[in-house]
């Protein structure tokens, strides 16, 4: 994944991955750090061999079905699909997902989902 990462409380690692296109809201550029990027959280679990991974995908409408199909096929539970704004261009949708397992395997799974988006 290409993006910024930080370690927060309890060892939770958050990786933010920006989209390649510019997102405009009523003609004003929205910076990626204003919540228009994909954010992935890796939370270590008490069993050291397992991690909870929760990607919050930032998606264009045409990306939704293909990302959902690949993530479901890899065992991810899709919690929701929503949009935050109604006037941004292009229109973005967000999807919270979760899976538990080996952090490296799940990171590769999230990467397969990101590869279906226009993310950096």
Q: Where are the domains of the chain?
A: 4-114
Q: Residue 80's pLDDT is what?
A: 92
> How do residues 50-80 score in pLDDT, each as one tens digit?
999 999 999 999 999 999 999 999 999 999 9
> Residue-wise over 9-31: b if at least 16 C-beta within 10 A, else e?
eeeebbbbbbbeeebeeeeeebe
Of 68, 70, 39, nearest to 54 (Cα)?
39
| 19-43 pLDDT, tens digit each | 999 999 888 998 877 778 999 999 9
Round to whole Å and give the CA distance between 26 and 100: 39
The pair of structure tokens assigned to 91 is 């229109």
In whole numbers, what is the pLDDT of the chain averaged over residues? Answer: 91
> What pLDDT is attached to residue 59?
96
């Amino acid at each position: 994944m290409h993006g910024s990462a930080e370690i927060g409380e309890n060892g939770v690692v958050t990786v933010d991955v920006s989209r390649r296109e510019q997102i405009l809201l009523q003609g004003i550029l929205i910076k990626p750090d204003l919540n228009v990027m994909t954010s992935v959280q890796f939370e270590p679990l008490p069993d050291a061999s397992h991690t909870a991974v929760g990607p919050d995908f930032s998606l264009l409408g045409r990306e939704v079905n293909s990302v959902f199909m690949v993530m479901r096929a890899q065992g991810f539970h899709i919690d929701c699909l929503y949009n935050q704004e109604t006037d941004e261009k292009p229109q973005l949708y967000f999807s919270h997902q979760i899976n538990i397992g080996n952090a490296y395997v799940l990171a590769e799974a999230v990467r397969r989902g990101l590869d279906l988006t226009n993310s950096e």
